[in-house]
Structure 1
Amino acid sequence: MTTNTAPATTARPSRALNITLWTVQSVLAAFYAFAATPKLLGDPTTADMMAQIGFANWVGYFIGAAELAGAIGLLIPRLTSLAATGLALLMVGATVTNTFTMGAGAAAMTLVLAAVFATVAYARRSWITRPGKR
């Protein structure tokens, strides 16, 4: 007996889902580009915040660079899933940090953002698994 097995493919999102994803990606990209700016410019408030939670000053620059790279990556189709994954991991780190330094209430927002980024990464995974076929 022979079975016909076709290679697994990832279905493209519907038009409405695609528009929703692009809207979410654009808003998050703008937000994270804006949030990265003071960190990259060495804003004293950022340095004070890093000192209060026990991190070296360079960590603020690293976080700012990661946020800006993620923001740019969210707008480049081939990089969207990877950028969203990176930002989700960054938000998981922020959630852990916030939980131990400011309490669980402060960690809720970063946890929600991690879930949103994970959703975007999952929804856009076909852009890296099927290059050139959108």
Structure 2
Amino acid sequence: MSVAVASAPSRWKSVTLWVVRGLLALAFAAAGGAKLYGVPMLVEEFQHIGLGQWFRYLTGSLELFGALLILVPSLAAFGGLLLACIMVGATITHLFVIGGSPVPALVLLTLSAIVAYTKRSQFALFAIAP
């Protein structure tokens, strides 16, 4: 009886994390694809940021790369960290440059950080031992 009780939370935690990773991958793949495709609203938004359209291509590419990383079980922590960093930049940009609500960026930041934190043991695998 205690074995079933002990494994139940772990299974739900794993399933929940997969769902979050899947939703994040979909959201970032859609956003990155829209940036690379050149949706007029995004072209105008990045023009307003003032860094040039190369920044839209870079951001879109990084979002697509992060979406792929977050789906690979052994690289999910790195994907979560990359996407969280992108969302820190998006939040700052919304607050100080383009306006609008930073709430969607903050939600994606939080979910990405949860994935990175939950999979943090993956970072230790790449650490260089002295």
- Once the two structures are TM-superposed, the CA of residue 102 in structure 1 deviates from its matched residue by 4.2
- Once the two structures are TM-superposed, the CA of residue 14 in structure 1 deviates from its matched residue by 1.3
What is the aligned partner in structure 2 of residue 123 from structure 1? 118
What is the aligned partner in structure 2 of residue 71 from structure 1? 67
What is the aligned partner in structure 1 of residue 25 from structure 2? 29
Higher mean C-alpha displacement, 24-33 vs 46-55: 46-55
What is the aligned partner in structure 2 of residue 101 from structure 1? 97
Percent identical: 40
Cα RMSD of the aligned pairs, angstroms, is 1.9
- Once the two structures are TM-superposed, the CA of residue 79 in structure 1 deviates from its matched residue by 1.0
Return the index of the structure with the highest Cα Rg. Answer: 1
Q: Is the 8 A contact 2:32 2:60 kept in 1?
A: yes
Provide structure 2 residue ranges, at least 5 long, that are not aligned to the other structure: 1-8
Q: Is the 8 A contact 2:24 2:112 kept in 1?
A: no
Determine whether 1:85 maps to 2:85: no
Provide structure 1 residue ranges, at least 5 long, that are not aligned to the other structure: 1-12
Normalising by structure 2, what TM-score? 0.81
Q: Higher helix proportion, which one?
A: 2
Normalising by structure 1, what TM-score? 0.79
Q: Output the CA distance in 1 between the equivalents of 2:15 and 2:81.
A: 20
Opposite residue 98 of structure 1, the aligned amino acid is H
Aligned residues: 118
